[in-house]
């Protein structure tokens, strides 16, 4: 009996094992399908509509969209913090020479206009943004370290702590990094009043002025200089007309307020000329009254040309502004210092600097002995210049005609 029972027990155990094996084999394909099955199979197993709890769950980054209270600013601390940050102010401070220029900017780095902000400077008191342009200028400061604070302004968050600033003793002829904040478009100024440069060379023109396009020899090149006054230009036609280079106005300083303004056609002109295959340079019409302003003007040009390759110099245009411009009555010493400061700043940035002016302007308004190391661009409208100094480029007329440009255009010859 014991042997019989043992045999039955063994057979029963084997039967149980067989049954379990069959059950596992049957269940495994379904389990694998659930784990590794197709997308369609997975979708078929999902409920038609699921409503997860509010807030973010795992990697569900869109969960907040199902939270009806998320966009309620009165109860949502995230949006409330973002709104507070949008009214936060900071200061961008620059010193060129015994001065401070404080720009009150928003989180996007733009000057905040329309508010009379106050700042406090260590031991010197408070200064106000009188014209509400977001900029406070303080001049005639003793060099050294100061503590600067932006005072509370209604509706804005100002820095809690003061800022340590350094007033420079002497101009360093280096580009001002934050100058782009000061560059204006013509939509922001009275362009008719501000852009009032007068070509001094016209006063000295005679009947021998060469108005036709020249065909120079001996390695010389023929070119033009343009600004917004020349309108829309077909640069391919200009190139096909035989023009080899173009000097393009980058901008100007307003002759009334001193605003720094980009020429509205600068970008389209420099891109168009370069695309057509012309060599390019740029110029800036100055109304700087001192070295500090000259460094500002040079910094503006450097900011505007940063993304372009220039083959010709960056020129300072030192013409007058009709007799009433803010720089029209500078003495020779000051005007020469302005040109020198502009050129040194340009060259310290790795570019070639030049000076544009008429024969009479060079002879009577500048000390050319101090400036002859720069690229001199002479404007004299006659068949042969009378200027006795050294020059590398000659603007021989303002009445040239070139295919691709409507009206008159300035014509130039560049000597090697």
Tens-digit pLDDT profile for residues 194-218: 999 888 888 878 888 988 888 777 8
Q: What is the pLDDT of residue 15?
A: 57
Q: What is the pLDDT of residue 309?
A: 97
Q: What is the pLDDT of residue 241?
A: 96
Alpha-carbon distance of 128 to 138, in angstroms, equals 10
Domain count of the chain? 2
**Of 120, 136, 167, which closes a domain?**
167
Weakest-pLDDT range from 104-108, 182-186, 312-316, 370-374: 104-108
Q: Tell whether the model's pLDDT for residue 28 goes beyond 60.
A: no
Q: What is the pLDDT of residue 40?
A: 41
Alpha-carbon distance of 402 to 54, in angstroms, equals 70
CATH number for the domain harbouring residue 376 = 3.20.20.80
Higher pLDDT, 178 or 274: 274
Residues 209 and 251 in one domain: yes
Average pLDDT, the chain: 86
131: domain range? 84-167
Q: What is the pLDDT of residue 32?
A: 44
Angle between helix 332-348 and 291-304 (nearest 10) = 40
pTM of the model: 0.76
Residue 104 has a CB neighbour count (10 Å cut-off) of: 24
Q: What is the pLDDT of residue 166?
A: 93
Q: What is the pLDDT of residue 280?
A: 98
Residues 334 and 362 in one domain: yes
Residues pairing with 8 in the sheet: none
Residues 126 and 198 in one domain: no
What distance lies between CA 43 and its chain's CA centroid? 52
Q: Tell whether the model's pLDDT for residue 342 goes beyond 90.
A: yes
**Of 167, 200, 226, which closes a domain?**
167
Residue 368 lies in a domain: yes
Q: Each residue of 118-147: pLDDT tens digit?
A: 999 988 999 999 989 999 999 999 999 999
* Helix ranges (DSSP H) in 305-375: 332-348, 359-365
Q: What is the pLDDT of residue 38?
A: 41
């Amino acid at each position: 009996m014991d042997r019989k029972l043992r045999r039955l027990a063994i057979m029963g155990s084997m039967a149980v094992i067989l049954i379990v094996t069959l059950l596992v084999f049957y269940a495994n394909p379904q389990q694998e399908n659930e784990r590794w099955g197709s997308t369609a199979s997975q979708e078929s197993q999902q409920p038609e509509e699921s409503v997860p709890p509010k807030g973010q769950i795992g990697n569900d980054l869109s969960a907040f969209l199902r939270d009806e209270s998320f966009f309620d600013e009165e109860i949502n601390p995230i949006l409330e913090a973002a709104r507070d940050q949008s009214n936060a102010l900071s200061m961008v401070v620059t010193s060129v020479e015994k001065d401070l220029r404080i720009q009150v900017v928003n989180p996007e780095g733009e000057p905040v206009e329309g508010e009379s902000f106050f700042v406090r400077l260590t031991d010197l008191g408070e200064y106000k943004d009188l014209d509400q342009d977001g900029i406070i200028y303080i001049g005639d400061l003793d060099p050294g370290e100061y503590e600067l604070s932006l005072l509370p302004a209604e509706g804005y968050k100002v820095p809690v702590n003061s800022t340590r600033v350094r007033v420079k003793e002497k101009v360093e002829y280096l580009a001002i990094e934050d100058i782009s904040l000061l560059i204006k478009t013509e939509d922001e100024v009275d362009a008719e009043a501000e852009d009032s440069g007068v070509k001094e060379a016209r006063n000295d023109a005679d009947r021998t002025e060469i108005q036709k396009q020249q065909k120079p020899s001996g390695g010389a090149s023929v070119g033009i200089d343009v600004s917004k006054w020349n309108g829309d230009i077909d640069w391919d036609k200009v190139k096909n007309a035989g023009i080899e280079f173009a000097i393009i106005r980058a901008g100007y300083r307003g002759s009334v307020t001193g605003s720094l303004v980009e020429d509205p056609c600068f970008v389209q002109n420099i891109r168009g000329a370069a695309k057509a295959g012309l060599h390019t340079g740029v110029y800036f019409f100055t109304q700087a009254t001192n070295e500090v302003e000259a460094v500002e003007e040079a910094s503006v040009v450097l900011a505007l040309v940063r993304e372009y390759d220039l083959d010709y110099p960056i020129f300072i245009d030192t013409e007058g502004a009709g007799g009433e411009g803010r720089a029209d009555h500078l003495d020779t010493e000051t005007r020469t210092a302005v040109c020198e400061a502009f050129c040194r700043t340009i060259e310290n940035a790795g570019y070639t600097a030049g000076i544009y002016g008429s024969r009479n302007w060079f002879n009577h308004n500048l000390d050319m002995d101090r400036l002859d190391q720069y690229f001199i661009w002479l404007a004299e409208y006659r068949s042969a210049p009378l200027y006795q100094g050294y020059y590398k480029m000659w603007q021989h007329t303002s009445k040239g005609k070139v295919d691709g440009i409507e009206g008159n255009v300035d014509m130039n010859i560049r000597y090697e």
